[in-house]
Amino acid sequence: MKTLIYLLLLTALLSCSSLSNKKELLPAQEITIASFLKSQSERERELSEVRGKLHLRYKVGKQAISGQARFIKTLEKSRLEVSDPMGRVRYWLLADSEGTLAYYEPEKAAYSSNGEGRSYFKKFFGLNLSSKELEGLWIGILPQSWRKQIVSAWKFSSPFYEGQLSLDKQDISFKVSAHTQQLSEVSWFSSGKKVQIEFSDFDACCSRNGAESLLGHSVVIYLPTQSDKIELEWEELDILADAPNPLGFSRSLVRGTKLILLDP
């Protein structure tokens, strides 16, 4: 009897292992720079308006935030909101035509950045990126300005295609998996220090017009300062079916919040 139970458990474990690795067994395919750029443009269009749930953790110096998060993005605006286990909002980040506004509940402080929000991401994370560019990287899309500068060099080192681009005298490297045909790694130097983004745990996330999109459900951003990083674990990401409630993009701050302007 014990032997039978052991065999049943072993079979179940092997079955689970097989299912969990199935997404890794996609056949390798040849990828050209042209086909990669085309797929990136299609991905940008297909995932232009989405909502998702994820777990977010980040540590920058002495500051750390961790919790369940909700993310919503339209063509004009986006909002990321992080809550603690009790459901209390601890942090939110809003990007719209007025700029970027980030609220930190523990500090009762909010930071406002004009335009694309670059001054906020540079000050807090050492990233010279706009809110739109960073959000695109979260879901495996290289910034449009980067894609225009991709050089013709394209090296295959199984199972990755490796490409490079040059932007503002800065070399940016990236890897694309021959199995998933998605970004697996992006790295560049910011102020002489390396930034690296790694994508893993690929699986289908959502579909439009019958076509499914693959998503790296685990995203780790290693920041320029040693040991600092942002980790995102996507639970789900869906195409927006209806127009979101405008109240969900409110810029209202809790009374007593200190507003700090990052741009002159």
pLDDT tens digits, the chain, 264 residues: what are they?
Answer: 444 333 333 333 333 333 333 444 578 899 999 999 999 999 999 999 999 999 999 888 778 899 999 999 999 999 999 999 889 999 999 999 999 999 999 999 999 999 899 999 999 998 999 999 999 999 999 999 999 888 777 999 999 999 998 887 778 999 999 999 999 999 998 767 899 999 999 999 987 777 789 999 999 999 988 789 999 999 999 999 888 999 899 999 999 999 999 987
| The CATH fold of domain 33-261 | outer membrane lipoprotein receptor (LolB), chain A (2.50.20)
Q: Is the dihedral of CA 21, 26, 28, 29 positive or negative?
A: negative
Note the pLDDT of residue 25: 53
Note the pLDDT of residue 11: 38
DSSP string, the chain: -HHHHHHHHHHHHHHHHHHHHGGGGPPP----HHHHHHHHHHHHHHTSSEEEEEEEEEEETTEEEEEEEEEEE-SS-EEEEEE-TTS-EEEEEEEETTEEEEEETTTTEEEEE-TTSHHHHHHHH-----HHHHHHHHTT---HHHHTTEEEEEEEETTEEEEEEEETTEEEEEEEETTT-SEEEEEEEETTEEEEEEEEEEEEEEEETTEEEEEEEEEEEE-SSTT-EEEEEEEEEEE--SPPPGGGG-----TTPEEEE---
Indicate yes or no: pTM above 0.85: yes
